[in-house]
Structure formats: structure tokens, C-alpha cells
Amino acid sequence: MMVIKGGSQIQSGDGSYEKPYTFGDSKSGSGGSLLKERSTGEYLELSGILFRIIDV
């Protein structure tokens, strides 16, 4: 488990398993949206590691 600040900006992705949110130095949410606006159950990718959102 890791905790990411809710104000972190998503670079790309749609939160699905196939297209997880990515941000920072990642290659692939919707760009410009905030992590705190996402829903539990969606996915994000950070530094090549896939995470599932369990709480916002």
C-alpha cells in the first residue's frame, strides 16, 4: 500500500486495469484531473507499478 496526496495531478489513463492513471515520470486519469477526484476501484500506475485505489 502507498498513500498519494489527493492533489497529485494525473497525466493520462482512465482508471481501468488496461489504462491505469499515470502521473509524474510515467509514460501514460484524464490529464489534468486531481487524484482526490477519482473513485475507489480505479487503477493507477506509478513508476511501472500498478496500484488500485481503495480510498480517496
Radius of gyration (Cα) for the chain, nearest Å? 9
Verdict on whether the full-model pTM lies above 0.85: no
Range of the domain at 24: 1-56
Task: Count how many domains the chain has.
Answer: 1
Q: What is the mean pLDDT of residues 4-8?
A: 76
pLDDT tens digits along 12-53:
888 888 888 777 654 446 667 787 887 788 888 888 888 888
Residue 29 pLDDT: 60
Residues 55 and 52: their CA atoms lie apart, in Å, by: 9
